[in-house]
Structure formats: structure tokens, C-alpha cells
Amino acid sequence: MNELFIPILLGTARQDRLSEKAARFTHKLFSKRSDVETELLDVRDYLTDRSWAPWQENDMSKKWKEIMARADGLIIVTPEYNHGYPGELKILIDKADTEYAHKPVAFCGVSGGGLGGARVVQQLTEIVRNLSMVSIVPSVYFPHIKTLFNGAGEITDPAYERRLDELFEELLWWATALKNAR
Amino acid sequence: MNELFIPILLGTARQDRLSEKAARFTHKLFSKRSDVETELLDVRDYLTDRSWAPWQENDMSKKWKEIMARADGLIIVTPEYNHGYPGELKILIDKADTEYAHKPVAFCGVSGGGLGGARVVQQLTEIVRNLSMVSIVPSVYFPHIKTLFNGAGEITDPAYERRLDELFEELLWWATALKNAR
Amino acid sequence: MNELFIPILLGTARQDRLSEKAARFTHKLFSKRSDVETELLDVRDYLTDRSWAPWQENDMSKKWKEIMARADGLIIVTPEYNHGYPGELKILIDKADTEYAHKPVAFCGVSGGGLGGARVVQQLTEIVRNLSMVSIVPSVYFPHIKTLFNGAGEITDPAYERRLDELFEELLWWATALKNAR
Amino acid sequence: MNELFIPILLGTARQDRLSEKAARFTHKLFSKRSDVETELLDVRDYLTDRSWAPWQENDMSKKWKEIMARADGLIIVTPEYNHGYPGELKILIDKADTEYAHKPVAFCGVSGGGLGGARVVQQLTEIVRNLSMVSIVPSVYFPHIKTLFNGAGEITDPAYERRLDELFEELLWWATALKNAR
């Protein structure tokens, strides 16, 4: 039985979003671990036409709260739009509150250009602090997303497995430490 | 005939939003000036059920682009949610691009607590920079929004007229300088 | 015997610095606790004429590293200069590295104006994340520092004792959780 | 005769600083233009043993104020230390005030890793806003600084000339517009 539950959230609802490749790759790798249970969550499923309105309680926001209450941490995979976070990601984050407290969050940034989302991670670090989460290092950055994955959906740079493993190790250290203390 | 057109955008779609008081007060004061044309815009009108989807073109996003193409500057009145911007404000900002370039933006922050939205203004400063806008000082902060306006909707602290006048003066300096150069 | 050691760092070397009042008040209150050992550190003592040069090892930087290696957390009391941190505080922070890891840091902001240093705390949150620290909430903000303390050096607003107690409680929760896990 | 004066500031005093290569390269290219006068400034020259003390007036801070009063804009070349700015750069920036107002600033970021200083530029954007400067895009980022320049001190990636030219063009647009308006 797995002790830790750490879902992965894809933070953009944009049509033809390329970040989905990074999210699926991260999820595939994280799923191989025997010491953690994970699940790929999609911001689209929580912000449908009926539920996107900010700060409104509804079935979808209740489901989000339940998942975060059960979670021992979170990985957010998100593109950077105009140096900030997707609005729909922020609407979803704002739909829960105390459920996040005393848990770690790790970030995977995605960008079309060469910086891989370094700036959106900085802005989200400020947000999650107010939720009493710890924003861990390292992050993993996926720049040049249009060419980083090949036609078959496979990543073209083998260094990413090692980078994500380092992120996972550190995330699990924090998740374990804080679960023991909560 | 007014030479400058500078709309005011209320940046939250939340039900029972208190920032609307600050936006209406700012609009009322700005409307008294004879050297600028203004208009109070509401993020709600641009992100309806049919149009909220991020990065999607539709009638509402086209209207937003037209307004920003015509504008010589912008005032954003926004609450601070979890130390950041409302997601719906970011979705709307991301719906235009070159229309913003070489124009000034001023911020009015709103909060329930004592800091008046100082942090959301910092995050938005990073966003608008990528749109080639200049984020001017001063900002005007509306803290303790629940009690800052009385039952009749009037502001209880007379210093706000002077503070907004200083913001307007500086905003118009930049708007004029940049309109002459564009 | 105290199990936890959490020093308080005054982050400005400016002549006639008013933040010293907030630092001394915080230290006095924190010293009353029986469950933690503390000490008031002064950035001035670590960046003398002989030692201020950035990234240079010397006696003072070695002493700083020793203190941080022994510490179970940190409270930084700092003014906000031009919406950022004092340069001398950053030079000192940059003089250690792995000594900070897996420890919590809390912030007390100080300002002449009404915002109490809200923005410098945001910038420092981004810095300490790279040191593998957790930046906790709440912070305590000391605005209008010229009048917040009276001539006798006593704080004029009694709410600060409660605010600091809340900060101490949360800081000690994190410090204990992480000490047990390190 | 040149109408515009825009100096370039190297923002680190660290021994063996690699950012000097990026600063010299930027200065060499900018010096070729006939429509602007420039000069390479070094934070080391303004923060000597006698003058580093924060917020203290002295010969060096007076010289800095004179240069900034005469300048029509500024290019800052700076490494990123722990996701923020070098402390000595901040001490120097804090030594002037009204001299900066209504002028543009462009950033060149430098890093040992792959992100080129993206985060320090974000933090400095918040600082210069308070000085009534406009922080322009694009920035130019110099990642992997250890190998970006060869043994002869020449840049190994020819794209940097075009990138800097785009930065220069935009900077001069703002500098001209604001000089005409000041």
C-alpha cells in the first residue's frame, strides 16, 4: 500500500496545449515509483462552462477540495503566459484553502521559448506561500516545447529523466517530513 | 474633443465583489477631468460562459482588442487573491497582445486586510512589462475594503481624492508622452 | 535545555535605521519563550569594511555559516528599500549555501509608509526558496515605523504581541517538523 | 554630436566575475552606434571600501547621481545570485532617486545555468518601477556563461548581435520618446 498521494496538475485549458506532453511525461515517470500514488489531473475537468466562475462553490470545486485534502503534496505542470500563470490555473487554486496547508509543491514549467517557464514558477511560489505550502527546488523546465518532444511523443533529451528524479526525491523528502508532523 | 482615451478595468468577476466600490469611486473621479475620456469596463462582460475559454478568439475578445487598440493607457482596479491576481483578469489580459504596446498602466489595489493589494500590483507589473507597457507609480491602495466605504457607498477617508489625483497626473504625463511618440 | 535555536537577523546596516526598534521588540518577545533559544544578529557585524566584498570567504562569512549550520530556522527583520531588499542583507545571505537547507524562515517587514514591507517579503520568498528553505506565513508588518514606537521605545499598538505570537507558533511548528526529519 | 547618453552598468563586484564578458560584449556593440553615446560603468568603482555603506552620501554616490542625472536611459548587465540581484548592485541603485525618473532601463541577464538570469530581471523590474523608470522588453539573456564566450573572449553564438540590436532599437525608441517629453 502506498502511504503518500501526490497528484500532478496540468495547469492550462488552452486548446492544443503543448504542456500536456510535459505533464504526461512527468506522470508516466512518477507512476513508476512504488513509494507514492499519483494521478494526472486536468484543470479543464474542474473549470467547465458551468463551474469556471471564480470563488463559486460547486460540484467541481468540492471535488478539488477533496483531492487536495487527501493529497500529501502536489506537482503543477504549467506553461508561462506573458511571464505569469494561466488564469484558469489561478481560478482553480483559489477554489480551495486550508486543504493545502503544510504540504510541498513542485513545479514543472513549460515554454515555447528558451526559458522554460522560469518566471511563472516565481509567481506561483508567492501564491502557494500564502496557502502555507512549501515551494521546493529543483523545478524542471521544459523550454522549446514544440521540438522537445518528437512526433511519437517521446522526449528528445534524455537528461529529463534524471532531472525529474531529483525533483521527485526532494518532493518526497518534504512530503514525508510534513506528513509525519501534520 | 478629448485627445486621450483611458478606460478603467474592474478585474474581478467574483460575486458580491467589494472592489466594485473602489472601481466606481475611481471612475467617478477620473470622469470629472476634461482632458481625458474614460469608461468603466467590467471583466465580467468579457468572460461570459461562452467566452471565458483561455486564448480563444470570439466576439468578446475581439471587442477587448478593439478597446485596447484605441486606448492610450489603462487603469486596472483589482483585488488581491492569495497574493496574486484574479484568474479571470489574467485570462482577459492574455486575450490581446500588440494592442497594449507603448502605453502606460496604473494600478488600484483592493484588499480585505491592511495591505491594499500591494502584492498583486507587483505581480501584474511583471505581466504588463511583457506587453511593452510601462507600469507607473504611484498606485492607490484600498485596504480594509469592508469599512473604507460607508453604507451610502461614500469613501470615509478624504485623502483618496488627492492620492488618485496624483495617480491621474502621472498617468496622463506618460500617456501624452507615448501618444506623441507612437 | 532548549532544543531549537532560531536567531533573528536585522537586515539593514543603514545609519539611524528604524528597523532596529522592530528587531529589538521581536527579539524581546521571542526571548521569553522557554521552548527556543534565540539571539539578535546584526548584518553590520558581518559586513564590516574588511568583509563586505560579495562572495568572498573571510572570518565573518565563516562565522555566519557556523551560525546558520547550527540554526533550526531564522527570523529576518528587514526594511523595504525601493520595493526590494537592502543590498547588504543580500550580500550576507549569499555568503552561505547548504547551511540553510530544510529550515523555515519567517519575515518581519518594516516601512516608513503604510504597507509595512509587504513587497520585500515577496522578493525574499523567491530568494530563500533557492536555499531550500520554507518561507512561512504569517509575516508581521511594521508600517509607519517613525510613529509605531513611542519615545520610550515601546510599541503603541498592543496587537503586535498577538501577531508575533502567531508567527512564532507557526515557525516553531515548521522548525520542529523539519528538525525531526533532517 | 550624440543626443542620447545611455551608460551600461556591470552589476557585480564579485572576484573573477564572468558577467564582465557579457558587459564588454554589449558595450562593444552599443558603441558602434552613431545615434547614442555610451560608457561602461562598473559597480566596483562606486562601492569601494570607503563608500559601500548603504544610503551614505559620499564622493562616489555623488558621481553616480551626476551620471544618472545626465543619462537618458540605462542598460544593466547583471548575474543572478540565488534568483535575485547582487547586493552591491542594489546598494548602488539605492544611492540615487529622482535622477532615474522617466527614463527607460534594459536588462542583460547572466547565469552559469541555462536560464540566463530570467529571474533577476523580474525582481529588478519591480525595483526600477519605484524609481519611475520603464523596464523594457526584450531583455537579452546570457546562459551557460562559462562556455558562451571562447578563450579569445569572443561570443560563440552569432544570434546575440541580432538580439542586442533588437534591445537597442526598443531602448532608443523609449529614450527618445521620454527625452522629448521630459
Q: What is the pLDDT of residues C93-148, one digit of tens each?
A: 999 999 999 999 999 999 999 999 999 999 999 999 999 999 999 999 999 999 99
Rounded distance between C-alpha atoms, residue B33 and residue B10, angstroms: 20
Task: Note which residues in 69-88 of chain A have CB less than 8 A from chain D.
Answer: 83
CA distances from A7 to A34, A89, A171 (A): 14, 15, 12
Exposure class string for A53-65: b at 16+ Cβ within 10 A, else e: bbbeeeebbeebb
Touching A: D residues 85-114, CB under 8 Å: 114
Q: State the pLDDT confidence band at C2, using cuts at 50, 70 and 90.
A: low
pLDDT single digits (tens) A86-135? 999 999 999 999 999 999 999 999 999 999 999 999 999 999 999 999 99
Half-sphere exposure of A130 (CA within 13 A, CB side): 18
pLDDT per residue as tens digits for the range C81-103: 999 999 999 999 999 999 999 99
Contact between residue A14 and residue A80 where contact means Cβ atoms under 8 Å apart: no
Task: Dump pLDDT digits (tens) for D26-52.
Answer: 999 999 999 999 999 999 999 887 778
What is the distance, to the nearest Å, from the Cα of residue C156 to the centroid of all Cα atoms in its chain?
22
Mean pLDDT of the B101-124 span? 97
User: Among positive and negative, which fits the CA dihedral A161, A167, A168, A170?
Assistant: positive
Helix, coil or strand: residue C159 = helix
Are A134 and C134 inside 8 Å of each other by CB? Answer: yes
Cell numbers found for residue B104? 502606460
In the DSSP assignment, the letter for residue B78 is E
Task: Determine the pLDDT at residue B2.
Answer: 54
Nearest CA in chain A to C170: A132
Instruction: Dihedral sign for Cα D113, D119, D120, D125, please.
Output: positive
Residue in chain B nearest A90 by alpha carbon? B87
In this complex, which of A114, A119, A143 lies closest to D122 when CB atoms are compared?
Answer: A119
Beta-bridge partners for C119? none
Instruction: Give which of A81, A150, A139 is closest to A105, Cα–Cα.
Output: A139
State the pLDDT at residue D73.
Answer: 98
| Interchain pair C135, A129: CB under 8 A | yes
User: Best residue in B134, B178, B180 to probe D by mutation, most D CBs within 10 Å?
Assistant: B134
pLDDT band at residue A2 under the 50/70/90 scheme:
low
Of D59, D81, D52, D91, the C-alpha closest to C53 is: D52
- How do the domains of chain D map onto residue ranges? 4-181
Closest by Cα among A150, A171, A121 to A6? A171
pTM for this entry: 0.97
Contacts of C101 (CB under 8 A, 6+ apart): C131, C132, C133
Q: A129 contacts in C (CB within 8 Å)?
A: 125, 135-137
Average pLDDT of the segment spanning D127-133: 98
Task: Count Cβ atoms within 10 A of the Cβ of residue A159 and give its class: 0-12 exposed, 13-18 middle, 19 or more buried.
Answer: exposed
**CATH class of the domain comprising B4-181:** alpha beta
Shortest Cα distance from A125 to chain B (angstroms)? 10
pLDDT > 60? residue B1: no
Task: Answer whether C135 touches A (CB < 8 Å).
Answer: yes
- Mean pLDDT over B110-125 rounds to 97
**CA–CA min distance B173, chain A (Å):** 26
What is each CA distance from B53 to A28, B45, B61, B91, in whole angstroms?
28, 14, 10, 8
pLDDT for A49 = 77
B31-50 pLDDT, tens digit per residue, is 999 999 999 999 999 988 77
Shortest CB distance from C83 goes to which of D81, D84, D126?
D126
Residues of C in contact with D120 (CB under 8 A): none
Query: In chain C, helix, strand, coil percent, each to 5?
Result: 45, 20, 40
| C130 three-class SS | helix
Listed in sequence order, the residues at least 6 apart from B169 whose beta carbon sits closer than 8 Å to its beta carbon are none
Which SS3 state, helix, strand or coil, does residue C52 take? coil
pLDDT at A1: 44
- Percent of chain B at pLDDT > 90 equals 89
CA distance B17 to D107: 38
Average pLDDT over residues D11-24: 96
Quote the cell numbers at residue A109.
514549467
Percentage of chain B modeled with pLDDT above 70: 99
Instruction: Please check whether residue A126 touches C, CB under 8 A.
Output: yes
Q: Give the whole-angstrom CA distance, residue D106 versus residue D75.
A: 5
Output the nine-digit C-alpha cell for A23.
Answer: 505533464
Q: According to the per-residue pLDDT averaged within each range, which of C22-36, C50-64, D39-53 is highest?
A: C22-36
Beta bridge partners of A9: A41, A76
pLDDT at A138 over 80: yes
pLDDT at D1 over 50: no
- Predicted confidence (pLDDT) at residue D9 exceeds the cutoff of 90: yes
Q: What is the mean pLDDT of chain C?
A: 95
Alpha-carbon gap: B49 to the closest alpha carbon of chain D (Å): 34
What is the reported pLDDT for B51? 79
Set of cell numbers at residue A172? 518526497
Mean pLDDT over residues C40-52, rounded?
Answer: 89
pLDDT in tens, B72-85: 999 999 999 999 99
